[in-house]
Amino acid sequence: MNARLASLPLALLLAAALPALAQHEHESHAAYATHADAASAATRARFKADAPLSREMAAIRAAFEAQLPAIHAGRLDAAGYAALGAEVETRVATMIRECRLPQDADATLHGYIGRMLAAAGRLKRADLDATAHRDAALETISAYNDYGVRFIDPAWKALKP
């Protein structure tokens, strides 16, 4: 895990990621004439995950799966939650940097990784109580599980919250 990246506040991480997001343009979107058409088509479509996306989502799953017993037993401390948040931020930054998806798939993915980053920010907050940390962990798991409904990813396996 990149220690420098893990120590950045969420706002700085997002600001650093914006140039990569802006460069994340794809030419395959010409098939959609309007945003409404694209949104309508996207609600029906399933997208194929590329190798970097699949690898990073699998790593997020593994990190949360390893901590689920402690989360449910109330034994995961603030440092443990912060480590999960840092892991999510690191993995999402790698996705943004390395994924090469068609524009419609990319736009759909951003909804899931946006939810994950918002939850990761809460996971890293030392001032939150155990319930708030647990809720943020469950939101990350929910976003991961929702990703698997919309993306064809051979490595994906639902996480039972």
Q: Which residues pair with 151 in a beta bridge?
A: 47
Beta carbons of 32 and 105 less than 8 angstroms apart: no
Alpha-carbon Rg for the chain, nearest whole angstrom, is 16
Q: What is d(CA 74, CA 51) in angstroms, rounded to the nearest whole number?
A: 34
Tell me what pLDDT residue 4 has: 42
- Express the helix, strand and coil content of the chain in percent, nearest 5 each: 75, 0, 25
Question: Consecutive 10-residue runs of the chain (161 residues): their mean pLDDT?
Answer: 44 48 39 43 79 98 98 96 98 97 96 98 97 98 97 96 87
The DSSP secondary-structure symbol of 159 reads -
Give the three-state DSSP class for 123: helix
Tokens representing residue 40 in the block: 């309508």
Q: What is d(CA 49, CA 134) in angstroms, rounded to the nearest whole number?
A: 28
pTM of the model: 0.74
Tell me what pLDDT residue 21 has: 45
